[in-house]
Structure 1
Amino acid sequence: MHTLEQLRRGELDGAHVLRLRGGLQELPDDVLRLADTLEVLDLSDNRLATLPDWLPRLSRLRIVFCSNNPFTTLPAVLGQCESLTTIGFKSCRIDHVPAQALPPQLRWLILTDNRIAELPEALGDCRNLQKLALAGNQLATLPERMAGLNALELLRISANRLTALPDWIGQLPRLAWLAYAGNPFCAEQEQLVLQRQGLPAIDWSELELGTLLGHGASGMIHQAHWHAASGDGCEVALKLFKGAVTSDGLPDSEMATWIQAGNHLQLISLLGRLDGHPQQAQGLVMPLIGPDFHALAGPPSLESCTRDVYPAGVQLPLSQVHRMALDLASVAAHLHENGVLHGDFYAHNTLHDGQGGVLVGDFGAASLLPDDAERSKGLQRVEVRAWGYLLEELLQHSLPPAAGEQALAEALNALLADCLQPDPGLRPLMGEVHARLCCIR
Structure 2
Amino acid sequence: MHTLAQLRAGELSGITRLDLSCGLTEFPPEIFNLADTLEVLNLSGNALSSLPDDLHRLTRMRVLFCSDNQFTELPECIGQCAALTMIGFRANRIVNVPGAALPPLLRWLILTDNCIETLPSELGERPLLQKFMLSGNRLQTLPPSLSNCHRLELLRIAANQFTELPQWLLTLPSLTWLAYAGNPLETEADAAALEATPLIDWSALRLEERLGEGASGVISRAIWQRADHSSQAVAVKIYKGEMTSDGSPLHEMNACITAGLHPNLIRVEGRISGHPDGQQGLVMQLIDPSYRNLAALPSLASCSRDVYTEDCRFTTDVALRIARGIASAAEHLHQQGITHGDLYGHNIMLNDQGDCLLGDFGGASFHATEDTLETRALQRIEVRAFGILLEELLVRIDSGLSDELRGGLEGLVQRCCQPDVLARPGFNEVVAVLQKL
Output one character per residue of 1:122-156: Cα deviation in whole Å (capped at 9) or x when no partner.
12222111111111111111111111210011111
Paired with 1:215 and 1:148, the residues of 2 have a C-alpha distance of: 37
TM-score by length of 1: 0.95
Tell me what 1:225 maps to. 223
Paired with 1:193 and 1:208, the residues of 2 have a C-alpha distance of: 29
Tell me what 2:407 maps to. 410
Amino acid at match of 1:420: C
Paired with 2:125 and 2:215, the residues of 1 have a C-alpha distance of: 28
Output one character per residue of 1:2-56: Cα deviation in whole Å (capped at 9) or x when no partner.
0111112221101000000110001111001101110000111111111111211
Tell me what 1:112 maps to. 112
Alignment of 1:128-207 (within 5 A): 128-186=128-186, 189-190=188-189, 192-193=190-191, 197-207=195-205
Output one character per residue of 1:268-327: Cα deviation in whole Å (capped at 9) or x when no partner.
121122233333332222111111111111111111111111122111112211121111
Tell me what 1:435 maps to. 432
Tell me what 1:394 maps to. 393
- The 1:37/1:229 distance shift into structure 2, 3 A limit, reads same
Tell me what 2:381 maps to. 382
TM-score by length of 2: 0.96
Q: Match for 1:277 among 275, 278, 294?
A: 275
Q: Could you tell me how far 1:237 is from its partner in structure 2?
A: 1.0
Q: Could you tell me how far 1:258 is from its partner in structure 2?
A: 2.0
Paired with 1:194 and 1:120, the residues of 2 have a C-alpha distance of: 41
Corresponding residue SS for 1:95: coil
Q: Could you tell me how far 1:198 is from its partner in structure 2?
A: 4.5
Paired with 1:133 and 1:78, the residues of 2 have a C-alpha distance of: 18
Tell me what 2:419 maps to. 422
Larger deviation, residues 59-68 vs 274-283: 274-283
Alignment of 1:310-329 (within 5 A): 310-329=308-327
- The 1:112/1:230 distance shift into structure 2, 3 A limit, reads farther
Output one character per residue of 1:242-285: Cα deviation in whole Å (capped at 9) or x when no partner.
32422211233223322222211111121122233333332222
Paired with 1:20 and 1:376, the residues of 2 have a C-alpha distance of: 45
Amino acid at match of 1:409: R
Paired with 1:70 and 1:198, the residues of 2 have a C-alpha distance of: 43
Corresponding residue SS for 1:170: helix
Q: Could you tell me how far 1:410 is from its partner in structure 2?
A: 1.4
Output one character per residue of 1:187-209: Cα deviation in whole Å (capped at 9) or x when no partner.
6x23x536764532223333222
Alignment of 1:355-370 (within 5 A): 355-370=353-368
- The 1:287/1:70 distance shift into structure 2, 3 A limit, reads same
Output one character per residue of 1:372-427: Cα deviation in whole Å (capped at 9) or x when no partner.
5221111111000000010111112221545xx22211111111111110111221
Q: Does 1:212 align with 2:210?
A: yes
Larger deviation, residues 85-94 vs 271-280: 271-280
Paired with 2:307 and 2:149, the residues of 1 have a C-alpha distance of: 25
Paired with 1:283 and 1:415, the residues of 2 have a C-alpha distance of: 39
Unaligned runs of 5+ residues in structure 1 are none
Paired with 1:351 and 1:424, the residues of 2 have a C-alpha distance of: 28
Paired with 2:425 and 2:202, the residues of 1 have a C-alpha distance of: 45
Is residue 193–residue 259 contact of structure 1 (8 Å, CA) maintained in 2?
no
Amino acid at match of 2:176: A
- The 1:195/1:386 distance shift into structure 2, 3 A limit, reads closer
Tell me what 1:64 maps to. 64
Is residue 78–residue 101 contact of structure 2 (8 Å, CA) maintained in 1?
yes
Output one character per residue of 1:151-174: Cα deviation in whole Å (capped at 9) or x when no partner.
011111111111111112211101
Q: Match for 2:287 among 286, 289, 305?
A: 289
Amino acid at match of 2:365: S
Q: Could you tell me how far 1:338 is from its partner in structure 2?
A: 1.7
Q: Match for 1:332 among 323, 330, 334?
A: 330
Tell me what 1:300 maps to. 298
Unaligned runs of 5+ residues in structure 2 are none
Corresponding residue SS for 1:399: strand
Corresponding residue SS for 1:419: helix
Amino acid at match of 2:384: R
Paired with 2:65 and 2:271, the residues of 1 have a C-alpha distance of: 34
- The 1:210/1:54 distance shift into structure 2, 3 A limit, reads farther
Paired with 1:254 and 1:129, the residues of 2 have a C-alpha distance of: 26
Is residue 218–residue 247 contact of structure 1 (8 Å, CA) maintained in 2?
no
Is residue 193–residue 256 contact of structure 1 (8 Å, CA) maintained in 2?
no
Corresponding residue SS for 1:186: coil
Of all paired residues, the percent bearing the same amino acid is 50
Is residue 318–residue 409 contact of structure 1 (8 Å, CA) maintained in 2?
no
Paired with 1:44 and 1:355, the residues of 2 have a C-alpha distance of: 42
RMSD of the TM alignment (CA)? 1.6
Corresponding residue SS for 1:132: strand
